[in-house]
Amino acid sequence: MNTSQFPISWVRESFPALNSGDDFIFFDNGAGAQVPQTVLDAVLHHLLSRSVQRGGRYRQSREVDESIQKARESVAIFLNARDSAEVAFGMNATSFIRIVSQAIAENIRDRREIIVSDLDHEANVATWLDLQRKGCEIRWWKMRDDGTLNTSDLDPLLNSRTRLVACTMASNALGSIVDVKEVARMAHAAGAEVFLDAVHYAPHGVLDVQDLDCDYLVCSGYKIFAPHMGFVWGKRRAMEALPTFREDFIPNQVPMKIEVGTFVYENVAGMDAAIGYLEELATRVQPDGPPGSRRSRLLLAMEAIRAYEASLSRHLLQELSALDGIALYGVIDPLRVSQRVPTVCFNLHGVAPCTVSEKCAAQGIAVRDGNMYSPRLLQRLNISPQTGAVRASLVHYNTVDEITRFVGALREIGRT
């Protein structure tokens, strides 16, 4: 797709937070994206018309059941899952990593080794490290100096004792993309399973669990233009085998065995609406008639987002590289944007990261400073996890003009 044809005006008009009149720039999308009006409408409608518990015999309660199932089917299509029952809703990705990891520890048996990476968000590291108390052994897949995970470094770690490989699809700190399809092929050849953290990648490209052939995948809806909630997907056979906590009256079947207690139903309705927004985006990308199936429309939308964001990544890297006194981390070559999402981590020489964020905020630009919940990654880059770095994380509603304003602010900060 020609990125000049990307319907950026319609996209930005769809998000109320971008049209408040203050020209605020949201470059902290890695911590959570804004939501379109259709998502707000769905949440409000749920709270007004069916703010009740599911499982009742009256109309409003049955509508909650229907709304949850509708969202489950939408997420299944978004992931290209074989069965909507493989999708479970809850609070966030971290809680699901914990649920799955604790379940795996219950039947670890002879395969006691778990591979984790120092590229990952700490939620997908510490949760597995905790299993050492239960006799599991951790093996480290080390990030290379350019901020990437190379599958050739994974190969010697795999053996007959490997139970699982846990890794991210894209670094939440650096934006580096991992070849997780190859990870799954290698892990399965060794008889191991694969657990993917798709939280940071999900807003930026196509997700296809059948093509990736992973065993488990977690995601956070609030990174994909939905409210605060999360979901987990797993192959039905693998999920059914997990021993999980549940009340005796809850059947030992997915998704009920994973959905412990009540979750935020209105936010699940918002997740369904967010996927609807992406389908509508497809009709704007191809106004002469988008593909007929929902999955085809979502593919078109996510491929268009990926192409548009690649142009943002190229421009951002080129502009930042031209600044004096900047240290850029990860994949910084504009010609390698296919290996990253538009998330950039950096430091300005002589300026504390918190100062950069504060001065950007004073100019109406949101970026984040700190360790990005990836302290091990920063240590590998010889960055103090206490002071950290600055992260600018963009999505498809951001623009080149916003990048220009952001780089101008950094140039002024560097001078002063």
What does the pLDDT look like over 349-390, one tens digit per residue?
999 999 999 999 999 999 999 999 999 999 999 999 899 999
AA identity, residue 47: L
How far apart, in whole angstroms, are the C-alpha atoms of residue 70 and residue 74?
6
| Residues 221, 352 within the same domain | no
193-197/25-26 β-pairing: unpaired
| Residues 182, 206 within the same domain | yes
DSSP 8-state class, residue 143: P
| Residues 28, 46 within the same domain | no
Report yes or no: 121 and 249 within 8 Å, Cβ to Cβ. no
Give 147-185 pLDDT, tens digit per residue. Answer: 999 999 999 999 999 999 999 999 999 999 999 999 999
How far apart, in whole angstroms, are the C-alpha atoms of residue 346 and residue 391?
7
Q: What are phi and psi of 366, to 5 degrees?
A: -95, 115
Q: What are phi and psi of 155, to 5 degrees?
A: -50, -50
Final residue belonging to a domain, choices 240, 274, 308: 274
| Residues 300, 374 within the same domain | yes
pLDDT recorded at residue 246 = 84
| Residues 330, 406 within the same domain | yes
How far apart, in whole angstroms, are the C-alpha atoms of residue 70 and residue 65?
9
Number of domains in the chain: 2
User: Is the pLDDT score of 309 beyond 90?
Assistant: yes
Give 111-147 pLDDT, tens digit per residue. Answer: 999 999 999 999 999 999 999 999 999 999 999 999 9
Tokens representing 348?
């300005």
Q: Tell me, yes or no, whether 281 lies in a domain.
A: no
| Residues 30, 49 within the same domain | no
pLDDT recorded at residue 377 = 96
User: Is the pLDDT score of 250 beyond 90?
Assistant: no
Give 77-94 pLDDT, tens digit per residue. Answer: 999 999 999 999 999 999
pLDDT recorded at residue 247 = 85
| Residues 397, 264 within the same domain | no
| Residues 135, 226 within the same domain | yes
User: Is the pLDDT score of 290 beyond 80?
Assistant: no
What contacts 344, CB < 8 A, 6 or more positions away?
175, 313, 316, 317, 320, 328, 330, 391, 392, 393
Q: Tell me, yes or no, whether 229 lies in a domain.
A: yes
Tokens 């007004």 belong to 48
How far apart, in whole angstroms, are the C-alpha atoms of residue 184 and residue 190?
10
User: Is the pLDDT score of 2 beyond 80?
Assistant: no
Q: Tell me, yes or no, whether 126 lies in a domain.
A: yes
Q: Tell me, yes or no, whether 283 lies in a domain.
A: no
Q: Tell me, yes or no, whether 289 lies in a domain.
A: no
CATH number for 377: 3.90.1150.10
| Residues 82, 229 within the same domain | yes
Q: Tell me, yes or no, whether 282 lies in a domain.
A: no
| Residues 11, 83 within the same domain | no
How far apart, in whole angstroms, are the C-alpha atoms of residue 187 and residue 171?
20
pLDDT recorded at residue 1 = 58
Q: What are phi and psi of 27, to 5 degrees?
A: -115, 30
Q: How confident is the model at residue 64 (pLDDT cuts 50, 70, 90)?
A: very high
Q: Tell me, yes or no, whether 285 lies in a domain.
A: no
User: Is the pLDDT score of 195 beyond 90?
Assistant: yes
How far apart, in whole angstroms, are the C-alpha atoms of residue 201 and residue 213?
16
| Residues 307, 251 within the same domain | no
Q: Is 28 helix (H, G, I), strand (E, B) or coil?
A: strand
User: Is the pLDDT score of 261 beyond 90?
Assistant: no
CATH number for 176: 3.40.640.10
pLDDT recorded at residue 249 = 83
- pTM for this prediction: 0.96
Q: Which domain holds residue 310?
A: 3-34+294-415
| Residues 169, 137 within the same domain | yes
What contacts 202, CB < 8 A, 6 or more positions away?
169, 219, 220, 223, 224
Tokens representing 45?
């409608």
Looking at 80-122, list the stretches that DSSP marks H as alpha helix, in order from N- to C-terminal side: 93-106
